[in-house]
């Protein structure tokens, strides 16, 4: 097996973890990872060295953006979960709070935060994956952290007045 294939195989667990955090659904995440791997293996001739992990994250991020665009064209269906009960208590309630806080973030902010915190990528690597300047990554991370802290502290988002 070539080094390229070994590097791809070694990255699969991290890709699955990132995809599950992005999609919040195991089946969708597995499909996204599979599509990422198929596209990477078909496009091996386009890879000209560098970090395979960042390249795969870029592919996965772009596929997820395409998936979200496709979903935006469909009517929204919101299933009712058992976790939607108010006043959930116990040790598992904290995890659900963080999950809800992450769900409220803008897609770009959530992706940047997950790549840094969950996957351990540097700001520069996240900038390459998202195709934005490093300052934009820093801004997205700062806004995401402030929003999550405010949510966990119980603060409600302030309403803007429109004249």
pLDDT in tens, 33-62: 999 999 999 988 888 878 899 999 999 999
Q: Are 145 and 120 in contact (CB under 8 A)?
A: no
Rg (CA), the chain: 18
Q: What is the architecture of the domain spanning 1-77?
A: Orthogonal Bundle (1.10)
3-state helix, strand, coil in the chain (%, to 5): 70, 0, 30
Task: Name the residue ranges covered by the structural domains of the chain.
Answer: 1-77, 86-163
Instruction: For residue 153, report the phi and psi dihedrals to the nearest 5 degrees.
Output: -80, -5
- pLDDT tens digits for range 101-157: 888 888 899 999 999 988 889 999 999 988 999 999 999 999 999 998 888 888 765
In DSSP notation, 51-70 reads -HHHHHHHHHHHHHHHHHHH
Tell me, which fold does domain 86-163 have in CATH?
Arc Repressor Mutant, subunit A (1.10.10)
**0.85 surpassed by pTM:** no
């Amino acid at each position: 097996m070539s080094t390229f294939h070994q590097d791809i195989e070694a990255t699969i667990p991290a890709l699955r973890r990132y995809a599950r955090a992005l999609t919040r659904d195991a089946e969708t995440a597995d499909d996204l990872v599979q599509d990422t791997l198929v596209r990477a293996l078909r496009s091996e001739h386009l890879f000209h060295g560098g970090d395979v992990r960042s390249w795969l994250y870029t592919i996965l991020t772009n596929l997820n953006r395409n998936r979200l665009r496709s979903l935006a064209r469909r009517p929204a269906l919101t299933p009712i979960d058992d976790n939607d009960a108010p006043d959930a208590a116990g040790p598992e309630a904290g995890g659900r709070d963080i999950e809800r806080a992450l769900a409220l973030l803008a897609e770009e902010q959530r992706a940047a935060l997950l790549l840094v915190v969950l996957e351990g990528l540097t700001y520069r690597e996240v900038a390459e994956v998202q195709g934005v300047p490093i300052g934009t990554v820093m801004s997205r991370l700062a806004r995401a952290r402030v929003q999550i802290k405010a949510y966990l502290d119980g603060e409600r988002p302030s309403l803007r007045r429109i004249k």
